């Protein structure tokens, strides 16, 4: 199980570096990096802090602390993905409304130009 | 440039995506069926020359800057019609499946019935269709689903040959299902306590192109529409409960 914990530590470190590099290169906006960073830091801390992990495993009634962490990490990342789905949905709605408004404004401008001509 | 004329002004809208082969004939048929009525083609960012042929046929074109899908295109037309002050809007497809000769009957039904929406139906007496077996099966399924929700039977819930009056136009310019709009629109109407009427119409084979709903997509279509319908029903129930709670 120690191997699994080490793997999760490695994944969390890679994720933190990846997110920070992406933010620096402006591939990810800061506000959307926060939930990933929070999840990755939580994973990193819990994979190294055996006392907290044992406590969580006992609370979840899971025999293996590593499996408990894996479950917790899965839940955290599901939450992050769900939050991003909400954001994407809102953006799509805004995008559709904007595209419709652009088309209507273009129509009005063309009509106005024709009227002037 | 289009503008409403008279007290019962009508606008015919035609959402179109890659319909260059059919659009010109569709617009000519509309002009022959309802002379003088403005025709607005909503070009959903076609990759072909749909907008060019539509303009050449005498239609006004509303060009969307990127592909929005059927619901987004139709709603753009409704929004413009609402802003320009049209009293009635009739929508038909750009592939030639709907016969524009039925437009005057839909308009008459809108004016005389007092219903907010009139649907051109291929399945009531006097109508005719060229529907595949799979689609007919899907339509039967949605009839069964919608019957208890709407409180009355609807024979052709997937028909895109639809006329609306200004009251419905106001609602649809604000709220309109964006991906597969026909069936969800009926539930939106029900939520608003609006009425609809079906009149017989002829459905012809497509003049060109293929339906966007393929065999594989049809399962996604059913799941998507069912979810949309039940989401709308839940909204409706929540409002009703809220109103009852406030009244008590």
Task: Flag whether pLDDT at B210 surpasses 80.
Answer: no
Is the separation of the CB atoms in B162 and B118 below 8 Å? yes
* Distance (Å, whole) CA B52 – CA B64: 14
Q: Give the pTM.
A: 0.83
pLDDT, tens only, A27-66:
989 988 998 899 899 889 988 988 888 888 899 898 888 8
**Model pLDDT, residue A12:** 93
Smallest Cα distance from A85 to chain B, Å: 16
Rounded to a whole number of angstroms, the CA Rg of chain B reads 18
**Model pLDDT, residue B213:** 62
Residue among B178, B151, B13, B162 at smallest CA distance from B102: B162
Task: Flag whether pLDDT at A67 surpasses 80.
Answer: yes
Task: Flag whether pLDDT at B227 surpasses 70.
Answer: yes
Print the domain residue range for A99. 2-116
* Distance (Å, whole) CA A56 – CA A77: 17
N-term to C-term CA, chain B: 52
What's the half-sphere exposure (Cβ side, CA atoms, 13 Å) at B186?
31
**Model pLDDT, residue B138:** 81
Q: Does the beta-carbon distance from A104 to B76 stay under 8 Å?
A: yes
- Chain A contact for B64 (CB, 8 A cutoff): yes
A interface test, pick of B16, B39, B65 with most A CB neighbours within 10 Å:
B65
Residue B62 is nearest to which of A96, A103, A115, comparing CB atoms? A103
Give me the DSSP letters along B92-126.
Answer: --TTS-B-GGGHHHHHHHHHHH--SEEEEESSSTT
**Model pLDDT, residue B43:** 96
Is the separation of the CB atoms in B179 and B92 below 8 Å? no
B interface test, pick of A91, A92, A101, A103 with most B CB neighbours within 10 Å:
A103
What the block records as the tokens of A10 is 């490695």
Closest CA in chain B for residue A114: B1
- Chain A interface with B: residues with Cβ < 8 Å: 96, 99-100, 102-104, 106-107, 111, 114-115
Is the separation of the CB atoms in B69 and B46 below 8 Å? no
Instruction: Give me the number of domains chain A comprises.
Output: 1
**Model pLDDT, residue B158:** 87
Residues 6+ apart with CB under 8 A from B230: none
3-state secondary structure of B193: coil
User: Which residues are registered as beta bridge partners of B118?
Assistant: B163, B197
Helix (H) or strand (E) holding B48: none
Task: Flag whether pLDDT at A74 surpasses 70.
Answer: yes
**Model pLDDT, residue B164:** 95
* Distance (Å, whole) CA B230 – CA B183: 11
pLDDT, tens only, B29-80:
999 999 999 999 999 999 999 999 999 999 999 999 999 999 999 999 999 9
Most confident of A34-43, A99-108, B6-15: A99-108
Average pLDDT over residues B157-186: 90
Report the complex ipTM. 0.82
């Amino acid at each position: 199980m120690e191997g699994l914990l080490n793997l999760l530590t490695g994944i969390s470190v890679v994720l933190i570096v990846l997110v920070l590099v992406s933010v620096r290169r402006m591939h990810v906006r800061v506000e959307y990096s926060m939930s990933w960073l929070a999840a990755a830091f939580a994973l990193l801390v819990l994979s190294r802090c055996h006392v907290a992990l044992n406590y969580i495993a006992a609370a979840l009634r899971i025999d293996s602390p590593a499996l408990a962490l894996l479950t917790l990490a899965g839940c955290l990342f599901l939450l992050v993905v769900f939050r991003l789905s909400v954001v994407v949905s809102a953006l799509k709605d805004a995008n559709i409304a904007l595209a419709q408004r652009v088309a209507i404004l273009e129509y009005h401008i063309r009509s106005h130009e024709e009227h002037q001509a | 440039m289009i503008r409403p004329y008279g007290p019962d002004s009508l606008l015919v809208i035609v959402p179109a995506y890659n319909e260059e082969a059919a659009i010109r004939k569709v617009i000519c048929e509309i002009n022959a069926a309802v002379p003088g009525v403005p025709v607005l083609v909503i070009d959903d960012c076609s990759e072909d020359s749909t907008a060019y042929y539509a303009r050449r046929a005498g239609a006004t074109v509303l060009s969307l800057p990127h592909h929005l899908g059927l619901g987004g295109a139709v709603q753009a037309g409704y929004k413009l019609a609402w802003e320009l002050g049209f009293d009635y809007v009739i929508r038909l497809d750009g592939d030639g499946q709907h016969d524009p000769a039925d437009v005057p009957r839909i308009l008459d039904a809108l004016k005389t019935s007092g219903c907010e929406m009139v649907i051109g139906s291929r399945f009531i007496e006097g109508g005719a269709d060229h529907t595949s077996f799979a689609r007919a099966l899907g339509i039967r399924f949605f009839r069964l689903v919608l019957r208890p929700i709407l409180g009355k039977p609807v024979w052709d819930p997937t028909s895109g040959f639809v006329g609306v009056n200004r009251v419905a136009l106001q609602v649809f310019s604000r709220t309109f299902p964006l991906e597969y709009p026909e069936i969800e629109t009926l539930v939106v109407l029900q939520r608003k306590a609006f009425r609809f009427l079906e009149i017989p119409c002829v459905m012809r084979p497509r003049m060109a192109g293929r339906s966007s709903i393929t065999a594989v997509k049809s399962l996604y279509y059913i799941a998507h529409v069912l979810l949309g319908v039940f989401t709308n029903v839940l909204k409706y129930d929540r409002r009703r409960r809220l109103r009852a709670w406030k009244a008590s």
